[in-house]
Amino acid sequence: MDIGGINIITLLATLIVASVPILMAALGELVVEKSGVLNLGVEGMMIIGAVIGFVVAVQTGNPVIGFLGGAVAGAALAAVFALLTQVLLANQVASGLALTLFGLGLSSLIGQGWNGIRPPLTRDVPLGPLSDIPVLGPVLFSHDWMVYASFALVVAVWWVLRRTRAGLILRAVGESHDAAHALGYKVRRIRMAAILFGGAMAGMGGAYISLIRVPQWTDGITSGAGWIALAIVVFASWKPWRVLLGAWLFGGISVLQLSLQAAGSRIPVEYLSMSPYVITILVLVFISSGRGRAMGAPADLGKTFHASR
């Protein structure tokens, strides 16, 4: 199945892999935003996760520990954001930007001397006969464990938000922090937990880029994936299933433009490489121009909470 020199099955299989980092980061950010906090530092947390995950994996020779390191690093940076916005009541937009600017600088500082090294290999999960099924086998059943973990996380996030008491409380905090506070819920603590979860997810997503997707370390390796993840949350109207859809859509675009570049398309390389961003903007416009105001956005998103007695 070749179209214009591009193998469709390979394309779909790479699409799944390419969408994992944005899927993880967007899922994390979705939980953060559901709790009423807007963390614009996704890009910074991702790239810190990417560099720390890479260094840890190379040092220990174990990619699983690498992913763990990435998650811890992302959460550590998110903890700074939590301190700024929840304890010191700083503006969330500015704090998120600070996180991204700091993360980009710190990552290239840490990553010095780690260029051109290959990280330890992460093998595909052996699914036996499943991976031999034509078409579906290579597309769905011949991937590394992180791909399946990210699918499981989509289900888990949906389950927790929709079907559990903890999810209900989290959403209540995001819709009206004053009401939740009056009911006796610890608004600040719940939000901090959500922020840390978001940081860990972004960190793991970043580590996936440097450990599996690329796989090596270069400066600015995330190249806007964090911002696309933020856009996907809006695109998904704050629904986990649609985040998966959005991640596939944008994973698909970025893979398609790369294979078009490789296939020697007549469209200049620069215009192909700007296409994921342009299409993200177009989709954002399409979504936001739809019915009513930003659908599904938590009512208290981005507002500072200060319990005045």
Partner 1 sequence: MVRLEKRANPSRLWSVATPVLAVVLTMIAGGILFAMLGKDPVAAIRTIFWDPLFNPQFAAYSRPQLLVKAGPLILIAIGLALGFRAGVWNIGAEGQYVVGALVGAATGLALYPMDSRLIFPLMVVAGGLGGLLWAMIPALLRTMFRTNEILVSLLLVYVAQSLLASMALGALRNPQGGGFPGSRNLSQWASSANPELVAGTGMHWGVVAAFISVIGAYVLLQRHMLGFSIRLAGQAPRAARFAGVSPTRLVIVCFGISGALAGLAGLFEVTGPAGQISLDFAQGYGFTAIIVAFLGRLNPVGILLAGLLMALTYIGGELAQFMLGLPAAAIQAFQGMLLFFLLAVDILTNYRIRWTKREAA
Binding site for partner 1 (CB under 8 A): 40, 80, 83-84, 88-91, 93-95, 97-98, 101-109, 112, 219, 223-224, 227-228, 230-231, 234, 268, 270-271, 273-274, 277-278, 280-281, 284-285, 288-289, 293-294, 306, 308
Q: Minimal distance in Å, beta carbon 136 to partner 1?
A: 34
CA distance 262 to 246: 24
Q: Minimal distance in Å, beta carbon 84 to partner 1?
A: 5
Q: Minimal distance in Å, beta carbon 211 to partner 1?
A: 21
Q: Minimal distance in Å, beta carbon 129 to partner 1?
A: 43
CA distance 283 to 232: 9
Q: Which is nearer to partner 1, 168 or 294 (CB)?
A: 294
Q: Minimal distance in Å, beta carbon 21 to partner 1?
A: 16
Report residue 60 as tokens. Answer: 């220990």
Closest to 183 (Cα-Cα) out of 168, 197, 195: 168
Asked whether the beta carbons of 28 and 201 are under 8 A apart, the reply is yes
Report residue 283 as tokens. Answer: 């989709």
Q: Which is nearer to partner 1, 93 or 182 (CB)?
A: 93
- Per DSSP, 117 falls in state P
| Residue 24, amino acid | M
CB atoms within 10 A of CB 110: 17
Q: Which is nearer to partner 1, 9 or 279 (CB)?
A: 279
Q: Which is nearer to partner 1, 13 or 52 (CB)?
A: 52
φ and ψ of 141, to 5 deg: -115, 25
Q: Which is nearer to partner 1, 10 or 216 (CB)?
A: 216
CA distance 68 to 2: 39
